[in-house]
Homo-oligomer: A and B are copies of this chain.
């Protein structure tokens, strides 16, 4: 089956290719009557502009890229990325931009993918997640002048647009809440330590605990997997002075932590309160349901997509902070039992 081209439309409308192009793109240069005739013909024969031809002459690929740098087994269970992708799509689909995905093994590989995408002109811009300190991807993107939105800072990203969420505010709220319940030994199982937003959280956690007079604010680093989260929990709970509350950097680790506590015969929330970060459906379907720091990840993604599209269009885009996650109290938090 032959795909219709603007030449076919031009023939049927009795005009030149140029006129068709102007008409379909809303450019001046054709009369309203002609434009409508051309649009009607395009509609009728089911015309879609060949993206390659368009990209070749117009320099826009109408696609953006996302690289995912996590092992398959984490990607599959971590709800964050799919939530983000859903959010991206809300904006991209509306402007019929495609999303190109690539799973990679290392940040180094990510830079290679960026270079290839840029060279191939395959994407007009990229989303960068998991910002690290001295992130090697940043200089590459700046060198290539590939429009990008960096999610997960704030950090030093040259002239790349950034979007981050107020993690410090969120963790402060969680700690205050736990203290108000009466907890004095609060621990945290953190995410990958070299991610910038993990550092922001750790710093804020340490600071707020210190300012409130808790000097045993331990953060155990982890890697977002359930296994590691469970292991970290076990390590915390076998201490003589075990914490009465633990904050987890993601929902998967929180669920694993809950499971470990139950396995050790501790009651949640009686002996241990649990707060999860990022409130996926996962948090509501375990028993007891987990108190969580909720944020609308899809909205976060949609916001990032709007920024990226603006950056691609050459509009000025400024760094922004997405709203603070708010605490959703559920059954996993309560005042600590008198010991």
Contacts and interface: CB of A to CB of B under 8 A. Distances in A.
Interface of A: 1, 3-4, 46-56, 61, 63, 72-73, 75-83, 85-87, 89, 93, 96, 98-104, 115-116, 118-122, 143-145, 225-227, 229-230, 252, 255-256, 258-260, 262-263, 280-282, 284-287, 297-298
B83 A72 contact: yes
A52 B61 CA distance: 8
Nearest to A81: B82
The 7 nearest A-B residue pairs measured at CB? A48-B119, A52-B55, A226-B285, A72-B86, A259-B287, A51-B120, A76-B79
B285 A227 contact: yes
Given A98-B122, A263-B287, A287-B262, A103 B89 contact: yes
Chain A, interface SS category? helix
Given A3-B119, A116-B48, A100 B103 contact: no
Given A100-B100, A101-B85, A101-B101, A256 B285 contact: yes
Most interface-central of A63, A229, A281 (chain B CB within 10 A): A281
Contact of A72 (B56, B96, B298): B298
Contacts of A143: 1
25 contacts: A1-B144, A3-B119, A3-B121, A4-B119, A46-B119, A48-B119, A48-B120, A49-B120, A50-B120, A51-B52, A51-B61, A52-B55, A72-B83, A72-B86, A75-B82, A75-B86, A77-B282, A81-B82, A82-B82, A99-B102, A225-B281, A226-B281, A227-B284, A227-B285, A262-B287
